[in-house]
Amino acid sequence: MLAVRRIRPDEGPVLRATRLAALADAPGESTTTLARAQAHDDDHWTSSAAANASGPLQATFFAEADEAERAEPIGLVGAYANRSGVVNLVGLWSAPGYRDIGVATALIDAVAAWAVSGGHTRLRLWVVERNEYARRFYEQAGFSSTGTSMPYEPDPRISQVEMVLEL
Ligand SMILES: CC(C)(COP(=O)(O)OP(=O)(O)OC[C@H]1O[C@@H](n2cnc3c(N)ncnc32)[C@H](O)[C@@H]1OP(=O)(O)O)[C@@H](O)C(=O)NCCC(=O)NCCS
């Protein structure tokens, strides 16, 4: 069974472990690198969990399987709102072994519901151009490319493209 829930304020260690697992599994798909994430101290993860656990400005969601099957989260997404009503979606990841069963779709649905309840009107993300699988996935989820691209900061030779979904 799949369940999605918002992070709890005391889950800094879970956030760290899940983020590092995502970055180790899919290097080059996120806005940061594994080395940079590993360099953060415990305070970083503690305050990040607390900041994302409540309120309309930023949120992190975990996807979970039955605890008997796997205690660690099987998916993760982060979101933060701009003043203009746009919610940026970052770090979407589902764990290998739990793909193509709707984990990422459920995470996006959770972000969309949270965004709407906060009065936001649009989801936005950046995806590296060569990640055709993710781009197709986002299109199926209703996102469309805006035509805007920019260099991917950890490796500026790579381009990333902007996609949006009106809520
Ligand atoms: C891209 C990524 C997030 C997709 O995650 P996922 O959990 O496999 O996605 P979903 O299962 O929700 O959707 C994948 C496919 O399964 C299908 N699906 C969704 N729910 C389903 C269900 N209940 N049963 C069967 N299939 C389902 C979807 O329709 C989709 O197929 P489609 O793309 O042909 O429409 C995942 O591959 C990943 O983590 N990749 C590495 C990191 C990455 O690239 N992240 C994106 C950074 S921008």
Q: Which CATH number do you get for residue 33?
A: 3.40.630.30
Within 6 Å (CB) of ligand 1, which residues are found? Answer: 26, 29, 92-94, 99-105, 127, 131, 133-134, 136-137, 140
Mean of all residue pLDDT scores within the chain: 96
Confidence (pLDDT) at 1 = 87
Domains: count for the chain: 1
Q: How far apart are CA 134 and CA 69, in angstroms?
A: 26
Domain range spanning residue 104? 3-166
Give counts: helices (H), strands (E), the chain: 5, 7
Q: What is the pTM of this model?
A: 0.95
Residues 63-71 have a mean pLDDT of 90
Q: How far apart are CA 13 and CA 157, in angstroms?
A: 33
Mutate which of 100, 128, 145 for ligand 1 pocket (most atoms within 8 A of beta carbon):
100
Task: State yes or no: pLDDT of 42 exceeds 90.
Answer: yes
